[in-house]
A and B are shown apart, each in its own frame.
Chain A
Amino acid sequence: MASIKEEEVKLIGNLPSMASRKVEIALQLKGIKYEFLEEHDLKHNKSPELLKYNPVHKKVPVLIHSGRPIAESLVILEYIDETWTQEPALLPSDPYERASARFWSKFIDDKCYPAVRKYLTLGSETEVESARAEAQEGLQFLENELKGKKYFGGETIGMVDVVAVGVAFWQQTLEEIMQMEPANSCQDFPLLCAWADELLGCSVISDNLPSKDKFSSLIQSRLQFAAAASAASK
């Protein structure tokens, strides 16, 4: 009888969603075969599968393993690590280090991403400045956490690195493409810069991230939208 690990894995996701990317990266790092079910229009036309498998939040990503759905990216990542125990381990084995990894993963999801998102979409100069300061404060904590380490996971990529891919991506893309003064410049955050280079140098990671052109046009359209909204409200 086949073990549960060998049973069918599907992932309902969406290409622009960073949360979907993180789960795909984790599955690929572990060498797990899965079928990707793409949601094309999350705003106006969610698929019946999505509504069936994530009735509570109706959001991506949703992992379906032998017919059973799991939602919420951090929950999914831990499920993946506990079900497929081959290398690389996403979480370390020591309880204190595991607690630390869970803490930083939640911090990145709850504080860093929203702060950087705010910085990218706000209108007025003062709002952008305050969002930038908030983002930088978060990034400083991450910079401190990287001292003496190649990755947040130590010598190998771990859960925190996977959760933080967006931070690495923004690190490289904002400065290069946007000629935007990023929240996380290499001068201010040299360890984060080196980490981003290492992480994005791994094909499993970079293969799953949007192309810089695509990302650039997405950001441009968001900034234009924010500028128009801000002008309209004056």
Chain B
Amino acid sequence: MAPQGEVKVLGAWPSPFVMRPRIALNLKSVEYEFVEENPGNKSELLLKSNPVYKKIPVLIHGDKPVCESLVIVQYIDEVWKDSTSILPSDPYDRAMARFWAAYVDDKMFPTMREIVAANEDEAKAAAVALFKEGLSLLEEALVKMSKGKKFFGGDEIGYMDIAFGCYISWFKVTEIVSNVKLFDESATPHLVAWIHSFSSHPAVKDVMPETDKLMEFAKNVVFPRIRAAAAAK
């Protein structure tokens, strides 16, 4: 029996976190309404649905809100369980997917912000070096988890692909705006190939922001905010 209730996603096009539930719903072929939020003017629905953080994404299934992007992805996987699985079935493999997903949120995204915020060459170089160290760990993780296939999830996109892949456009924009090269085919060949495979996947390509559009938004809105926050510390 198909799970009852219509599905809404409250989000915004530039947000990597919002991509996550959208990719998951696409993988499961679940129809949903995308409600574009304006972060400067949050809707009543958003404030009511996520009183703790007041942030996007929020999934509303029927009348029930689910918050936090990775919690939402797991919810989607568990509700629409007759479709392709997002998390692997073995508990150890699931633990690895969850571990690395937490790693990219806790380490890679903040380090990317450090690269953007750096106003001296030395600080920038240090942040880039740290980022690349993380990438080499992720390269190893990809080889191990994919078991020779294209994605962290194997033949098909899985939890870790979704968790990490949502940042791809932001990493590209950081490379261009901060004038650094983060992904290197000689250092992390599997990750470079994975970026292409992930970005062109049917469940992903329509929800991944275009680099040009994102670059304008990053340059004008987000990156100045990151630099201001860093300067205030």
Interface residues of chain A, those whose CB is within 8 Å of chain B, are: 56, 65, 68, 70-72, 74-76, 78-79, 82-83, 95-96, 98-99, 102-103, 106-107, 141
Contacts and interface: CB of A to CB of B under 8 A. Distances in A.
Nearest to B72: A99
A75 B68 contact: no
A76 B64 CA distance: 28
B99 A98 contact: no
Contacts of B79: 95
Contacts of A68: 92
15 contacts: A65-B92, A70-B95, A71-B99, A72-B98, A72-B99, A74-B98, A78-B98, A79-B95, A96-B66, A96-B75, A102-B71, A103-B66, A103-B67, A103-B71, A106-B71
B206 interface: no
Interface of B: 51-52, 61, 64, 66-68, 71-72, 74-75, 78-79, 91-92, 94-95, 98-99, 102-103, 137
A164 B98 CA distance: 20
Contact of A98 (B51, B61, B74, B103): B74
A65 to B, nearest CB: 8
Nearest to A76: B95
A125 to B, nearest CB: 22
A79 B78 CA distance: 16
Given A79-B94, A99-B75, 18 more contacts: A56-B103, A56-B137, A70-B92, A70-B95, A71-B99, A72-B102, A74-B98, A75-B98, A75-B102, A76-B95, A98-B78, A102-B68, A103-B71, A106-B68, A106-B71, A107-B52, A141-B51, A141-B52
B137 A79 contact: no
A98 B95 contact: no
Contacts of B74: 98-99, 102
A72 B94 CA distance: 13
Nearest to B102: A72
The 4 closest A-B pairs by CB, nearest first: A95-B78, A82-B91, A99-B75, A79-B95
Nearest to A93: B78
B62 to A, nearest CB: 9
A68 B74 CA distance: 24
B99 A75 contact: yes
Contact of B66 (A70, A78, A79, A99): A99
A152 to B, nearest CB: 15
A173 to B, nearest CB: 26
A76 to B, nearest CB: 8
Contact of A75 (B61, B78, B95): B95
B78 to A, nearest CB: 4
A96 B74 CA distance: 10
Contacts of B102: 72, 74-75
A68 B93 CA distance: 11
Nearest to B80: A95
Contacts of B75: 95-96, 98-99
Nearest to B66: A99
